[in-house]
């Protein structure tokens, strides 16, 4: 299964490599913005993108990004609860 995670672009590079930095769940991640950059890279600062294996795959609006993050956090919580149940069953 492939999974993309929303990230908010915080900075962009000035060179030809089209690299940028994004905040992904509180972690600064270096990403390639070539697939989503249609104008000036500076225009992407503050924009939400869907990040997969270091590439910004598409632009997201803020509502979609926040809903996706909430869904991912819920999935994590469910997984942790199941882990706790499994651990208790083994005792």
- What are residue 24's phi and psi, to 5 degrees? -115, 105
CB 20 within 8 A of CB 44: yes
According to DSSP H, which parts of the chain are helical?
Answer: 62-89
Residues 6+ apart with CB under 8 A from 58: 35, 36, 49, 50
Write the CATH number of the domain with boundaries 5-89. Answer: 2.30.30.140
Q: What is the pTM of this model?
A: 0.82
pLDDT digits (tens, 9 = 90+) for 32-91: 999 999 999 999 999 999 999 999 999 999 999 999 999 999 988 887 777 666 656 666
- The confidence score (pLDDT) of residue 47 equals 98
Annotated domain spans of the chain: 5-89
The residues that bridge with 9 in the sheet, in sequence order, are: 22
């Amino acid at each position: 299964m492939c999974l993309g995670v929303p990230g908010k672009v915080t900075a962009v590079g000035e060179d030809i490599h089209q690299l940028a930095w994004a905040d992904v769940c509180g972690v600064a991640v270096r990403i390639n913005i070539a697939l989503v950059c249609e104008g000036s890279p500076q225009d992407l600062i503050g924009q939400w993108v869907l990040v997969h294996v270091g590439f910004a795959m598409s632009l997201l609006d803020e509502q979609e990004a926040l809903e996706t993050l909430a869904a991912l956090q819920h999935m994590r919580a469910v997984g942790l609860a199941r882990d706790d149940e499994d651990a208790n069953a083994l005792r």
